[in-house]
A and B are shown apart, each in its own frame.
Chain A
Amino acid sequence: MSIARRGMLALVGALGIGAVAASAPGVAQAWEPQKPVEFVIMAGQGGGADKMARLMQTVIEKNGWSSKPLTPINKPGGSGAEALVHLKTKGGSDPDHTIMVTLNSFYTTPLRQPGLGVDIATFTPIARMAEDTFLLWVHKDSGITNIEEFVVAAKEAGNDWVMAGTGKLQEDQLLTDFLNAAYGLNMKYVPYKGGGKVAKQLAGQHANSTVNNPSEQEGFYASGDTVPLAAFTPDRLELFPDAPTFRELGQDFVYFMQRSVVGAPGMSDEAAAYYRELFQKVYESEDWQAYRKKKSLYGDFLSDQALMDYWMTEREIHKAMLSEMGAL
């Protein structure tokens, strides 16, 4: 009897120690979400940011890395203004359960709409998952195969040369302005909603050129309808070995689209550590690495202070570009 009881006690003791032991490594990061995590997407359904966000969510769910589900919510309103304000508001009520997938409007929208009262320096840096690249594209029927021919044709057309791009005073227009200034062109910028529509304008020859991401043009490129002329990257892209970089062409210009995850302002350190670890796992997963390779994405994993420093640098760069355009 007593032996049995002792045995029981030992068992209970062991269980107790076991429980402590199991939770012990967790002490450093004991935090776990208590309810579903709101996964805000700063863009509409079906766009580049949305696709990536859903891929991240899928990787997390497939591997069972989160005890509570991530629920994606698209908030594309006002070039991301709505999403930014939402995150800021959540910072006051529930900062630990709200994260957001963000892009470059993260810098430009608060700069252009100071009335929102959003300061991205107060947000919680979680992870930079990638940087997407840009190339200059034309239609194959234009007969243009390199940047010199492009400049000649665009100069001749003057203001009738149509450059289609996503949104007004956003990434694509920044690049168009750069090209206009660098080569003395006067291209007409026509904004559309979404990179897919822009790609279609070029494929249907309703526009003369675009500055699409590779993922937006890859279908038309594969069929030979569109041609990349040059890349806004430091090195040539593996997918498009024949397209030189603007650096090679003597223009020191590099531009990326960030794909990052940001937390609400005021997020607790424990929660931030949890999400950083979670997204590092996503970053290192086979699926994500395969996707990066296939879409020739740049940008290594950045987190914490390094990510905040990156944001601050980028914000200054965008501020300078926007004021040059007279948009501030």
Chain B
Amino acid sequence: MEILQHLSDGFLIALQPLNLGVVILGVVVGLFIGAMPGLGSVNGVAILLPMTFLVPPTAAIMFLAAIYYGAMYGGAISSIMLGIPGASTAVATTFDGRPLAIKGQADKALTAAALASFFGGTLSIMLFTGFAPALATIALDFGDPEIFALMLLAFATFIGLSGDDIPKTIFSICIGLVFSAVGLDIMSGEPRLIFFDIIGFMHGINFLVLAIGIYGIGEMLWTIEITRGESSMSKAVITVERILVNLKELLKTWKTGVMSSVLGFFVGILPAAGATPGSLMAYGVAKMTSRNPEDFGKGEIAGVVAPEAANNAASTGSMLPMLTLGIPGSPTTAILLGGMVIWGLVPGPRLFIDETEFVWGLIASLYAANFFAVVINILFIPLFLWMLKMPFTVLAPIIFVLSLVGGYAPTQDMHDVWLMLMFGVGGYLMRKLDYPLAPAVLAIVLGPIAEPALRQSLLIANGDASVFVTRPIAGPITIVALVLLVLPLLKLIRDRVWKRKLL
């Protein structure tokens, strides 16, 4: 009851004209920042942070949080429309969103993305509202062994997918892991894999460079090849009737939505993870638990719902450790945290007690931001579809330019642009040879989290690997991960033996 009292007070604050205005403005700005490849919520929040000093702190954080939210919605747009991940958090959305658009069902994918985002966002804010302080302590209980176990589980969900070629999946993961190892090794303090002493490798390989290379440039090459320049893109239309049909189909994915939201929220809470791993893991789990996993990657609606619900849920989740522990759960919240410090707020366990008005105003504004984001997003869908009607001969150069900009924007280094072009060609070739590319992207996202966690755990445990199975939280997660890893291998062996017997 006390929570509801706080929440209604919060709504009174969030619905003040100034606050409501900044929320709507933030959502619109975020939507476009998210839709621009390479620019994600991190860039948006960082660029606009100094502007927020024109308004009081409560309005300022509402504005930035609305941008964060809007960007989560917007990221899906270019993932679906152009096949270029609009933001790092929307990489997994390209896996199925793009095939849907090619099949002429862009309207379905866009609607699904918007509604799944809304669902994931709202569900996670409810979890946030109800259990924030309690969940904060869980986040603290996650030490290195637990984080590594969780990462292991994420890899397992990708290997343990029936239908894919397992050796090729493992190969793809290994390539991604090697790329993720480039740069400074924090455990030894030494630079690692600095190819040809090129200084650009010092900052490591930004995974957006890999993702935009593979999905932007690689996808463009692939489309040019399969259509021989003749294709005009999908002929998607949007009518009320179609929306209703789409909605019916969407309702069938509610289980995926719930699962992904909870998973995304939880991954978001853990420091170091954030929305990108959350959405990739949700995709993996959705595929694994699906009745028709072989449709994933070919335009399965649940493959859009899962990452979109998860990334919005995770973005809410990552605000939890920021507010309650002063630890950012994602790069974007790290900047939000910087903002709070400048506004004179001390994030930490006492924030909920000392600054109730600020905290509950923010929570209420998240509900509002979510509502406006979904409405604005759906209103824009016809415009996006109209853009899709451009012939591919026009669209391809646009994709190319946006990819270049997207590769340059995060680090502002030409080195990354060249690297991205190479990944594009490499990704295209791997695709021709039928290698799955999503696992490589997953590995480059999770590698930098998993590797230090593994080494820190072993260092603390004096090299005793049993910490991963003996600790109360890490143990069960590790065991589930190992089972998932071993099952498909057993199945593979069984199938081989079976075949031999038949011969």
List residues of chain A with CB under 8 Å of any chain B CB.
Answer: 45-47, 50-51, 54-55, 57-58, 61-62, 72-73, 75-79, 81-82, 85-86, 112-113, 115, 159-160, 162, 167-170, 188, 190-193, 196-197, 199-201, 203-204, 206, 215, 218-220, 222-223, 225, 291, 294
Contacts and interface: CB of A to CB of B under 8 A. Distances in A.
A122 to B, nearest CB: 18
Interface in B173-211: 183-184, 186-191, 197, 199-200, 202-204
A206 B203 contact: no
Contacts of B331: 45-46
B426 interface: no
Nearest to B199: A85
Nearest to B201: A77
Given A75-B411, A206-B460, 20 more contacts: A45-B42, A77-B184, A77-B202, A79-B189, A81-B191, A82-B199, A112-B189, A159-B462, A162-B460, A191-B456, A196-B271, A197-B271, A200-B140, A215-B341, A218-B346, A218-B348, A219-B348, A219-B349, A222-B346, A225-B349
Contacts of A160: 462
A46 B459 contact: no
- Residue among A167, A201, A222 with the most chain B CB within 10 A? A222
Given A62-B53, A73-B412, A167 B186 contact: yes
A287 B412 CA distance: 30
15 contacts: A45-B42, A46-B328, A46-B337, A46-B338, A54-B342, A73-B411, A82-B199, A85-B199, A115-B197, A168-B186, A168-B189, A196-B271, A199-B326, A206-B143, A219-B351
B50 A58 contact: yes
Interface in B116-175: 140-144
A54 B49 contact: yes
Given A51-B338, A200-B140, A223-B349, A77 B186 contact: no
Contacts of A73: 411-412
A225 B183 CA distance: 35
Nearest to A189: B459
B203 A62 contact: no
B476 interface: no
A58 B342 CA distance: 9
Q: How large is the interface on B (under 10, 10 to 19, 20 to 34, 35 or more residues)?
A: 35 or more
Contacts of B202: 77-78, 81-82, 85
Across the A-B interface, the 6 shortest Cβ-Cβ residue pairs:
A219-B348, A46-B334, A77-B203, A168-B189, A223-B349, A219-B326
Interface string B255-285: 0000000000000000110000000000000
Interface of B: 42, 46, 49-50, 53, 140-144, 183-184, 186-191, 197, 199-200, 202-204, 271-272, 325-328, 331, 333-335, 337-338, 341-342, 344, 346-351, 411-412, 452, 456, 459-460, 462
A55 B349 CA distance: 24
Given A51-B338, A222-B349, A188 B141 contact: no
A76 B186 CA distance: 12
A196 B452 contact: no
A50 B338 CA distance: 8
A77 B312 CA distance: 29
B39 to A, nearest CB: 14
A197 B328 CA distance: 9
A191 B453 CA distance: 11
Contacts of B143: 201, 204, 206
A188 B458 CA distance: 12
A254 B47 CA distance: 37
A62 B50 CA distance: 8
Given A58-B342, A75-B203, A82-B202, A222 B186 contact: no
Contacts of B411: 73, 75
Contacts of A55: 342
A54 B183 contact: no
Given A78-B191, A191-B187, A220 B349 contact: yes
B460 A190 contact: yes
Nearest to A62: B53
Nearest to A294: B344
A57 B49 CA distance: 10
Contacts of B204: 77
A86 B327 CA distance: 30
A57 B341 contact: no
B141 A204 contact: yes
Contacts of B200: 82
B341 to A, nearest CB: 6
Nearest to B333: A46
- Residue among B50, B202, B335, B347 with the most chain A CB within 10 A? B202
Contacts of B189: 79, 112, 167-170, 191
